[in-house]
Structure 1
Amino acid sequence: MNPSGDIAAQQAQLIVTSTVLMLLIIVPVIVLTLVFAWRYRQSNTEATYSPDWDHSTRLELVIWGAPLLIIIALGALTWISTHKLDPWRPLERIDARRPVDPKVAPLVVQVVALDWKWLFLYPEQGIATVNELAAPVDRPIQFRITSSTVMNSFYIPALAGQIYAMPGMETKLHAVINRAGVYDGFSANFSGDGFSHMRFKFHGLSAAGFDRWVEASRASGEVLDRGLYLKLEQPSEREPVRRFGRVDPQLFDAAVNRCVDKTKMCMGEMMAIDAAGGMGKGGLAYLERKPWRDGERSFVAAAACTPDNPTGASLPAAAATAFTDATARN
């Protein structure tokens, strides 16, 4: 409730405002419950006794009108805050007094939840870290978040609310840190045995301090390529902080598409095949024409039923081409 980032500060204020609005009903109800219990106790013979009373228009208006007004206020507050604090929405301000300078580009941080550690990639700086995150004070941050295997939740309470990390998907979070310091980050979603130790430190640094941190990471000399990522992806607990001076620039997109291992087809490519008609005419033609990543070509064994292949046995590449030509003629 005393965060150091503007988004988290707005969320804290939203909690306070909502609580106060609800207390406007809760407190009077509690007080009146005690007053009525005391005033109309059995031993108080001076209290008004009206056994046939059953209705009061003014009382009904108060009983239903006041909560209705509170609900309307909470609904309006929720509607506005839901859009204003949307994690995907770029920041409009640094804090309550300063708008975002349109000339300042946000710091992009690519986040991958591994079992059971966090990998942070800095595409602009060309570095990566494990279980350590840093950003300059008062500079907008754009987090691009995914997971390698199961769902996790990326959460730095002092910075902003939690956002899920899901395999095969990319979520986003925009935030800014306003005070220098070291803050706790962790996964807020259970993801297996090592979940309890899936923690990291977030460093809010001055601009000069962040530059020094980047240079120190580059000095490590270690290169994070696809092969090392596949080793890092294996489950491990209490992973120490690691820094990588160079990173494969396509690594994050490959992690999102679940094809860091080059023997696997990327999800984007698979969806393109489906969009072209699956393994029918359009799909097989797509496989033949597509210039595949890294100068390579990938082939998928086709199991298509034709008059000459009624059982749908696997077709070699040449047969797949013949099948495409045959279906075109038909």
Structure 2
Amino acid sequence: MQALFSRLRYAGVGVAVLLSGCNLEVLTPKGDIGSHEKSLILIALGLMAVVAIPVIAMTLWFPWRYRKSNKNATYAPNWSHSTKIELVVWTIPAIIVAILAVITWTSSHALDPYKPLESDAKPVTVQVVSMDWKWLFVYPEYGVASVNELAFPTNRPVNFQITSDSVMNAFFIPQLGSQIYAMAGMETKLHLIAREPGNYAGLSTNFSGEGFSDMHFQAIATSEDGFKDWIAKAKASQATLDAEGYKTLATPSEKTPVSYYGNVTPGLFGSVVNKHMGEMSHDAAMHGEMQMQHDAPQESMQMDMHHHEGGDAMSSNTSPTQAEK
């Protein structure tokens, strides 16, 4: 027994050493969604411990209690039933399953990534495109874009519209919460909010080829003034993200440095989704862009919509009312 405890002690030290370099970002949330998800992790851990700890304890105690040399242990070779044991092994799991069912039902609805966050502050819309092997962030309200760098103000919801121009990826900012997939020809949605300023690591958590390990980005949560400065810095870039510029950017590349685009062709996100849908059109993405432009100043109401069919682009100025019709 002494040898067993000694081995467990050394194993514990080894695990501590291995984990010493880990940054458990999921357990240090900086936003509302991340905080709720941390609570769920701790609750699930506690419920598992209710079962796991007694089982581990009994695994050690039973061999010791019923060892051959212990003459005081009850010898019952014909034992087959115990009402007390039956009550324990059925009642406790049933209670745990019931608790998990309630938690799963309520949290699945409360933390639905498609559900907008309640806030008095105006949300920031960011359109996200995953590529080989980099992230493109488009700010349609401001007409700018960035690669591998995302910025937003604290205490304001961020409404993400997410797609892929390549294989399936997964968009994840651990300290803000909620991973969601980016898929070609589809638009997924995610709503997050940061409560503390800082630089948070973002990544893809779905293997997507050679450059996957370097497919990271920085999520910068800043003050309102800091966000305005970041937008101004992006606008100062001379680079334009039009059809030709996007084609160049979409070329597979690894360890792509942060870059900015001071001018972005309106409707770019919808065109990226549509080009993977064949003859089908992505009305949801188009309507989302139209609604956003409807909320923007009057001078930016006219949009240049791009529909890709066979790689060709067609442009047309469409008003929000016409688009909804």
> TM above 0.5, one fold?
yes
Deviations along 1:21-68, whole A, 9 cap, x unmatched?
111111112212322222222111122222222112222111211111
Who is 2:33 aligned against?
7
Q: CA deviation at 1:295?
A: 4.8
Secondary structure (helix, strand or coil) at the match of 2:234 reads helix
Query: Partners in 2 of 1:269 and 1:248 — Cα distance?
Result: 17
Distance 1:40 1:265, change over 3 A: closer
Query: Partners in 1 of 2:177 and 2:279 — Cα distance?
Result: 32
Who is 1:202 aligned against?
219
- The answer to whether the 8 Å contact 2:270/2:282 transfers is no
The question of 1:34 aligning with 2:78 is answered no
Secondary structure (helix, strand or coil) at the match of 2:89 reads helix
The question of 1:190 aligning with 2:207 is answered yes
Who is 1:79 aligned against?
105
Secondary structure (helix, strand or coil) at the match of 2:45 reads helix
Who is 1:56 aligned against?
82
Q: How does 1:1-330 map to 2 (within 5 A)?
A: 1-92=27-118, 100-101=119-120, 104-258=121-275, 267-268=280-281, 293-295=314-316
Deviations along 1:204-229, whole A, 9 cap, x unmatched?
10011001111111111322111110
Moved more, 32-41 or 80-89: 32-41
Query: Partners in 1 of 2:105 and 2:176 — Cα distance?
Result: 22
Query: Partners in 2 of 1:256 and 1:210 — Cα distance?
Result: 28
Deviations along 1:213-265, whole A, 9 cap, x unmatched?
11111111322111110111111111111111111111111011117xxxx96
Secondary structure (helix, strand or coil) at the match of 1:66 reads helix
User: Who wins on radius of gyration, i.e. which is larger?
Assistant: 1
Query: Partners in 2 of 1:143 and 1:123 — Cα distance?
Result: 11
Deviations along 1:157-196, whole A, 9 cap, x unmatched?
1111211110000000100111111111111111111111
Query: Partners in 2 of 1:269 and 1:159 — Cα distance?
Result: 28
- The answer to whether the 8 Å contact 1:106/1:141 transfers is yes
What is the identity percentage for the equivalent residue pairs of Structure 1 and Structure 2? 49
- The answer to whether the 8 Å contact 2:273/2:282 transfers is no
- The answer to whether the 8 Å contact 1:258/1:267 transfers is no
Query: Partners in 2 of 1:118 and 1:171 — Cα distance?
Result: 15
Moved more, 38-47 or 244-253: 38-47
Q: How many residues align?
A: 262
Flag structure 2 segments of 5+ consecutive residues without an equivalent. 1-26, 284-312, 318-325
- The answer to whether the 8 Å contact 1:137/1:178 transfers is yes
Letter in 2 for 1:268: S
Query: Partners in 1 of 2:147 and 2:95 — Cα distance?
Result: 49
Letter in 2 for 1:238: K
- The answer to whether the 8 Å contact 1:254/1:266 transfers is no
- The answer to whether the 8 Å contact 1:130/1:243 transfers is yes
Distance 1:138 1:25, change over 3 A: same
Secondary structure (helix, strand or coil) at the match of 1:231 reads helix
